[in-house]
Structure 1
Amino acid sequence: MFGIYLKRELSRRKKAALVIALGLALGIALVITVNSVSAGMTQAQDKVLTSLYGLGTDMTVTKAQAAPTDGASGRPKFDFEAGSDSSETQSSDRVMPQGGQALKASLVTEVADQAGVASAVGALNLNVTKVDGSFTQGTAESAAPSGQGGGQGSGGGQPRVQGGGASFDVNSYSVAGVDVSNLDLGPLATSKITTGTTFTTAQSNSKVAVVSASYAKENELTTAKTITISDTKYDIIGIATPDSSESTTDVYLPLKQAQTLGDSADEVTTIYVTATDSKQIDTVKAEIQKNISGTTVTTSADLAETVSGSLSTASNLATSVGKWLSIAVLIAAFLVAALLTSSAVSRRVREFGTLKALGWPSRKVTRQVVGESIVNGLIGGALGIAIGVGAAYAVTAISPTLTAELGSTAGAGGGGGGGRGGAQQAATNTMEIALSAPVSLTTIALAAGLAIAGGLIAGAMGGWRASRMRPADALRSVQ
């Protein structure tokens, strides 16, 4: 009886039921869209932080760069010998640590021994500035004195140098020394080897290198070639491609080789740390800062605060304005559904009054109204889920590009080398991220719950009004 009556009443009032369902659908669709976009913003920020941090890294330990001492500018210096042979090519490499002040390699073990630390590895970041070119020797000519001829008998004037000069090319790139015993943590962890092989533990002090895909393409490098840094040749054994974002490292070397190259024996510039429990990162950070003085510990939360640009603006809008807007619209949809249901009940005075006169108790009348409202809510929920999922997939298909500008951190500072590590630091700190809007099962479940809740709220208000009707109300409504 309940089901038959429910079906008949919904069929009779299709337009009213559709209006209530659409109101709920719009509110639920907005909730799904905002939640999906917010999830996409979180994923985008994670990609940005991974490019800075390293996959699986919970925090980094660095030391702020010390101020230059008197008489030391910190700028690179190049010395050339100008010989008489103008065709001779001059070349010089300047290798400087970057990313903060050097730390003793023994600190890696000390950090690893701290409570809550699962693993720690050290890395040495270097900036290499290569200058090569040649000098052209000028020729000295004597100038004739003013007012005199230029013949052999005339006296010579002051000699002048004609021609000559210099032409040099400056190339700057970054080098990272990685701990080959633990490649799952550190600078190379964010990339995968797409050509060749990666380092092995036996190559801890071998003259081998892995280069980034972009650097290899720019300089036409392959695994069959070598790269020369400060007169030392390194065999290229692999080409690395970043997993999710552009890497700022061009060349990877075994840590010991990088230490030799940068004249930084037993030193590192960054210590990458993973915690045993991701929920205790702040506690581990405090522990490291307490027991190892003079260091700066940076977590992913600290890095997130340095992200600006359209990604940060859109994320703030999605998490604040968007969520509050969706809540406001959802509440409005619930209220509209409740008012429409209550209004529909008012127009059914004769019907409910007659049912009560026939012996229907108030609870049965209330159950009937609530049942109709829940069905309307489920229809609205289905429509809202369809609209919300469609909107989310539309955002993913369009993939709008957002920019993320990464502020300065303790681990991102250059060593004064210029190029990618210095003069072009701003370029490497700006990234473009394609936005997606993934829809999770949790979001779908939330939408279904909201649909049922909306139906219950509307049904409760309408049912309460229907339960107060008396058979006499039906008699008064008869014309």
Structure 2
Amino acid sequence: MFITYLRRELRRRRKAALVVASGLALGIALVIVVSSVSSGMKQAQGKVLESLYGLGTDMTVTKAATPSEGGSGRPRFKFDAKGEGSGDEEQSSDRVMVQGFQTLASSTVAEVGEQDGVADAVGGLSLQVMKVDGRFKQGEFEQAPGGSGGRAQPPGGGTDQQQGEVRGGGADFDVDSYSVYGTDVGKPSLGPLTSSRISKGRTFTGAEANSKVAVADASYAKEKKLAVGDTVTISGTKIKVVGIATPDSGGAAANLYVPLKRAQTLADAKNKITTVYVKAADSQQIGAVKSAIQKNISGTTVTTSADLADTVSGSLSTASDLASSVGKWLSIAVLVAAFLVAGLLTSSAVSRRVREFGTLKALGWKSGRVTRQVVGEAVVNGLVGGVLGIAVGLGGAYVVTAISPTLTAELGSGGGQSGGGLMRAGGPGGPGDALGQSASKALDISLTAPVSTTTIALAVGLAVAGGLIAGAFGGWRASRLRPADALRRVE
């Protein structure tokens, strides 16, 4: 009886039911779109952090920033340019420098690994190589009219004071700077290299702890025309390229990856590292692990992925803030409005059915039965609105994904000892310095709007809630009707 009467009444009042369902559908669809876009923002931000940290890394430990010693960090180049013969000999020199000039002892990795809540820890050494090569060219001395020309003479080198000037000469040098990252080949599951996949060749093996091998970033390999099997020379050491790595997203951590011990040898930094990459045993206890490391290991700065996420700037950050704040309040406002409208329309419909409900009561229907009938109709309207809202919301999320607007994430703003920038959090030697060249550019991230089962469940819950709220309005009104009301309205 209940189902039969419910179906008949909904069919009779399908226009009013459609209006109520459409109002609820609009609010539910907006919630789905905003939730999916917000989820897409988090995924995009996660891609940025993956390119920074590496997969599976929860935090990094670096040396606390300290004032650098006067002039100690400046690279110096010395050339044999005495000018013997033609003076056109090729000159070449390179310097391997530790990024940020701040290092930790390799034993710090073990200290970090012993802290409560740490599942694993691995050290890395970030280097910057500056190579300068070119040639000097002597100038020609041109004497004033009346004299004879010749090569420039050193002061006091001639017996006659001749007047003239030196023309030509100078220097033509090419400066090439690239980043090298020393990775612990014994723990391949942590560190920046894990955010890239090996697209050609292979990665390191556990037996290559100090081998002269390297994995090249795909973009750098393309720029320098490097292939698997080629060699690169770093500070006079020939390194064989055994693999090409392509970042899964964002920029690469370094141009070249080499075994940690080989990197320490190249930089003359034995038993030194710049960064400790840490994986927590429980992702919910990252804050506690951070506090424990800072308390028990002095002179270090701990930076979590959450700290870095807060410093992402650019259109990605702007859109994320918009989705999480404006979008949330807009969704709440629309939902409240939709629920109120649905409740008022249901209550209004009850007012137009006074004779019907009064007659039903006169025939023996109790107030509870009338109320259940009204609430049942409202819940069905809510479920219909939920189905429509889910369909419209999925369509909206699909459109956002199909259009795929590109957002920009700025990976370096501020930095320094304050740790104000994403790529330089923790000061020199921090995660930013561990990434080399990626600090100097922005990342373009394509936005997607994934819809999860949790979002669908939320939509269904909102639909039922909307129907119950609307039914509560109408049911309360219907429960107050008396049979006499129906008799007074009979014409």
2:65 and 2:426 in contact (8 A); partners too:
no
How far 1:135 moved relative to its partner? Answer: 1.6
- The answer on 1:275 being equivalent to 2:288 is no
Aligned to 2:337: 332
2:126 and 2:435 in contact (8 A); partners too:
no
Q: Distance in 2 between matches of 1:68 and 1:353?
A: 89
Letter in 2 for 1:274: K
Partner deviation per Cα, 1:79-115 (whole Å, 9 max, x = no partner): 1122434442211112110146111111111111112
Q: Alpha carbons of 1:414 and 1:295: their partners in 2 closer, same or farther (altered >3 Å)?
A: closer
Q: Distance in 2 between matches of 1:85 and 1:118?
A: 63
1:143 and 1:156 in contact (8 A); partners too:
no
1:63 and 1:100 in contact (8 A); partners too:
no
Report the 3-state secondary structure (helix = DSSP H, G, I; strand = E; otherwise coil) of the residue aligned with 1:201: coil
Aligned to 1:90: 91
How far 1:467 moved relative to its partner? Answer: 1.7
Q: Distance in 2 between matches of 1:292 and 1:413?
A: 17
- The answer on 1:299 being equivalent to 2:304 is yes
Aligned to 1:34: 34
Q: Distance in 1 between matches of 2:425 and 2:109?
A: 15
Give TM-score, length-normalised by structure 1: 0.93
2:112 and 2:121 in contact (8 A); partners too:
yes
2:73 and 2:101 in contact (8 A); partners too:
no
Letter in 2 for 1:9: E
Partner deviation per Cα, 1:430-461 (whole Å, 9 max, x = no partner): 22211111100010011001101111111121
Q: Distance in 2 between matches of 1:292 and 1:151?
A: 73
After superposing on structure 2, the runs of 4+ consecutive aligned residues of structure 1 that deviate more than 6 Å are: 419-422
Give runs of aligned pairs for residues 65-84 of structure 1, distance below 5 A: 65-70=65-70, 72=71, 74-82=73-81, 83=83, 84=85
Letter in 1 for 2:21: A
How far 1:74 moved relative to its partner? Answer: 2.5
Aligned to 2:142: 141
Aligned to 1:55: 55
Q: Distance in 1 between matches of 2:229 and 2:425?
A: 33
Aligned to 1:189: 194
Q: Alpha carbons of 1:414 and 1:238: their partners in 2 closer, same or farther (altered >3 Å)?
A: farther
- The answer on 1:217 being equivalent to 2:233 is no
Q: Please, what is the CA RMSD of the aligned residues? A: 2.1
Aligned to 1:115: 116
Report the 3-state secondary structure (helix = DSSP H, G, I; strand = E; otherwise coil) of the residue aligned with 2:75: coil
Q: Alpha carbons of 1:65 and 1:37: their partners in 2 closer, same or farther (altered >3 Å)?
A: same
2:228 and 2:244 in contact (8 A); partners too:
yes
Q: Alpha carbons of 1:51 and 1:191: their partners in 2 closer, same or farther (altered >3 Å)?
A: same
How far 1:425 moved relative to its partner? Answer: 6.7
Q: Distance in 1 between matches of 2:176 and 2:258?
A: 19
Instruction: Tell which deviates more after alignment, 190-199 or 4-13.
Output: 4-13
2:126 and 2:434 in contact (8 A); partners too:
no
Q: Alpha carbons of 1:414 and 1:113: their partners in 2 closer, same or farther (altered >3 Å)?
A: closer
How far 1:212 moved relative to its partner? Answer: 0.3
Letter in 1 for 2:105: K
Q: Alpha carbons of 1:284 and 1:156: their partners in 2 closer, same or farther (altered >3 Å)?
A: closer
- The answer on 1:444 being equivalent to 2:443 is no
How far 1:8 moved relative to its partner? Answer: 1.5
Q: Distance in 2 between matches of 1:421 and 1:241?
A: 15
Q: Alpha carbons of 1:151 and 1:431: their partners in 2 closer, same or farther (altered >3 Å)?
A: closer
Q: Distance in 2 between matches of 1:398 and 1:78?
A: 52
How far 1:66 moved relative to its partner? Answer: 3.2
Q: Distance in 2 between matches of 1:213 and 1:87?
A: 36
Aligned to 1:208: 213
The equivalent position to 2:482 in structure 1, one of 470, 474, 478, is: 470
Unaligned 5+ runs, structure 2: 150-159
Report the 3-state secondary structure (helix = DSSP H, G, I; strand = E; otherwise coil) of the residue aligned with 1:203: coil
Partner deviation per Cα, 1:51-84 (whole Å, 9 max, x = no partner): 11121111111013432324x2632221112243
Give runs of aligned pairs for residues 378-397 of structure 1, distance below 5 A: 378-397=383-402
Q: Distance in 2 between matches of 1:245 and 1:404?
A: 9
Unaligned 5+ runs, structure 1: none
How far 1:369 moved relative to its partner? Answer: 1.0
Q: Distance in 2 between matches of 1:412 and 1:173?
A: 22
Q: Distance in 1 between matches of 2:244 and 2:181?
A: 14
Aligned to 1:18: 18
Q: Alpha carbons of 1:266 and 1:248: their partners in 2 closer, same or farther (altered >3 Å)?
A: same
Aligned to 1:284: 289
Letter in 2 for 1:105: S
Give runs of aligned pairs for residues 194-273 of structure 1, distance below 5 A: 194-273=199-278
How far 1:165 moved relative to its partner? Answer: 1.7
Report the 3-state secondary structure (helix = DSSP H, G, I; strand = E; otherwise coil) of the residue aligned with 2:7: helix
Q: Distance in 1 between matches of 2:438 and 2:4?
A: 72
Q: Distance in 1 between matches of 2:86 and 2:490?
A: 118
Q: Distance in 2 between matches of 1:257 and 1:276?
A: 30
Q: Distance in 2 between matches of 1:169 and 1:420?
A: 25
Letter in 2 for 1:64: A
Q: Alpha carbons of 1:93 and 1:237: their partners in 2 closer, same or farther (altered >3 Å)?
A: same
Report the 3-state secondary structure (helix = DSSP H, G, I; strand = E; otherwise coil) of the residue aligned with 1:68: coil
Aligned to 1:174: 179
Q: Distance in 2 between matches of 1:18 and 1:411?
A: 55
Letter in 1 for 2:137: T
1:191 and 1:242 in contact (8 A); partners too:
yes
Q: Distance in 2 between matches of 1:150 and 1:457?
A: 107
How far 1:366 moved relative to its partner? Answer: 1.1
